[in-house]
Every structure is written in structure tokens, then in C-alpha cells.
Amino acid sequence: MKKTRTFLFFGAIMLVGLFAGSAMAQQISQDSLIQQKLLTPYTKYFEFPAEGIYTHFNKNAYMTGEGVWFKVYLLDVGGKRPFDLAQNVYAELFDPFGKEVDKQVLFAEKGSASGMFHLADSLAPGTYTFRAYTNWMRNMDQHAFYTHTFEVSGGISKPNSGSRAGAYDIQFFAEGGTLLEGIPNSVAFKIVNPQGKGE
């Protein structure tokens, strides 16, 4: 009877060891699967060059009716060199109230792309925001996007509380932006009716 109990006791220990070994093997198998399917591709993803954008504009400030010409350059941020991969670049323009005015998808070849936003006469004056990013940059926080602000003059101002609603908007523009004393100057003017149409 004593031998039978000893045999049963060692048999139970062996079964527990077998189950524990099986569970450990299964855990190791799951760990290696997680490593292979998730962690390795994740770490390899960040070994790729980090994309950055710089944009060059034709002017620092604009008038309504003008074109905002720009050229986008793609950069490898880590290597500090041009990013020579053909891909799409998304460019957006926002008005002073944060509303999207225009959007373009540009095809960048050899690390650069060019584009233009037309500033309609009906736009409000103020500070406009240009934003550019790539598809890869969408994976990051929006702080990784390239942003640039510039002033837009002219346009239709919203009537102030003290002004008459429905009044004509009349603006004068000196050639070169400044009137010079003592010499003939060219001055352009623009009249916009209450419906936003030119007169």
C-alpha cells in the first residue's frame, strides 16, 4: 500500500511538471510570436529615415487676388539630407478662423514638389496658415507637420459693430506699398459692393 501511494505521489508530481512544462513552452511560443509579429516590425519601422518638410514661398505677405507660390522640400531629418523618395505631399491653407480654404495633393519627385494657392478676392484679411505633410507624417503627432503663417491684406472685412452693415468696401493700394512724397505715384483702388462683388 505504501509503494502504491509513493507511485501515485510521484505520478502526480510528474503530471504537474508536464503541465507546467507545457504551459511554459506555450508561453515561450506566444512570446516569440509577439516578438516576431509585433515588436520586431515596430522597431524596424523606426529604423527608416524620419521624414521632414521645409517649404519656400515666393513672398512673405500677400494681397487677395494673388497666388501663393511655394516649393516643398522633403528631408531625412536624422541624416540631414534630401529625402529622395517619390511620394505624395498634402498641402493645406487655413483662413484666420481656422477654416480650410484650399487643399492640394502634390507628387514629390527627387525630394521636391511645387504648388500654388490662389487667394480669392472674397477672402477675409488676416493671418493665414499653410500646412504640409506626407502620409508617413500622419502617423505622428500634428506637431511633426510643417506649418507657416503669413499675412493677407485686402479682401472683405467683416463690418464692426460701429460700422454700417451693407456698406461698400473701398481700398487704396500704393504701388510698392508706400506713397513717396514729391514724385508721381501710382495708386490702385478696389471697390467691393455689399454682395462681395467688385464694382
Render the burial of 11-24: b for 16+ CB within 10 Å, e for the rest: eeeeeeeeeeeeee
Which secondary-structure segment (H or E) carries 191? Answer: strand 187-192
Half-sphere exposure of residue 131: CA atoms within 13 angstroms, side-chain side: 17
Q: What percent of the chain has pLDDT over 90?
A: 29
pLDDT-wise least confident of 50-54, 121-125, 174-178 = 174-178
Q: How many angstroms separate the CA atoms of 197 and 165, rounded?
A: 15
Mean pLDDT value of segment 141-157: 82
Query: Position 173: which residue type?
Result: F
Instruction: Say yes or no to pLDDT of 21 above 70.
Output: no
Top-confidence residue, 188 or 196: 188
| pLDDT-derived band at 45, boundaries 50, 70, 90 | low
CA distance 87 to 76: 14
CA pair distance 130, 132, nearest whole angstrom: 7
Identify the pLDDT of residue 162: 47
* Residues 190 and 170: beta-carbon distance below 8 Å: yes
Position 193 scores a pLDDT of: 82
Burial class (CB in 10 A: 0-12, 13-18, 19+), 132: buried
The strand pair at 51-57 and 67-76 is best described as antiparallel
Would the pLDDT of 151 be above 80?
yes
What mean pLDDT is predicted for residues 58-81? 86
Distance CA 123, CA 113 (A): 26
CB atoms within 10 A of CB 106: 18
Q: How confident is the model at residue 163 (pLDDT cuts 50, 70, 90)?
A: very low
Q: What is the mean pLDDT of residues 138-160?
A: 77
First to last CA, the chain: 115
Task: Check residue 161 and give its pLDDT.
Answer: 46
Answer yes or no: is pLDDT of 133 > 70: yes
Instruction: Pick the closest to residue 92 from 140, 148, 36 (CA basis).
Output: 148
Q: What kind and span of H or E run contains 18?
A: helix 2-34
Is pLDDT above 70 for 94? yes
Beta strands in 33-125 (DSSP E): 51-57, 61-63, 67-76, 81-82, 87-94, 100-108, 112-118
Residue 51 has pLDDT above 90, yes or no: no
Least confident interval from 15-19, 75-79, 85-89, 160-164: 160-164
What number is the average pLDDT over the span 94-104? Answer: 94
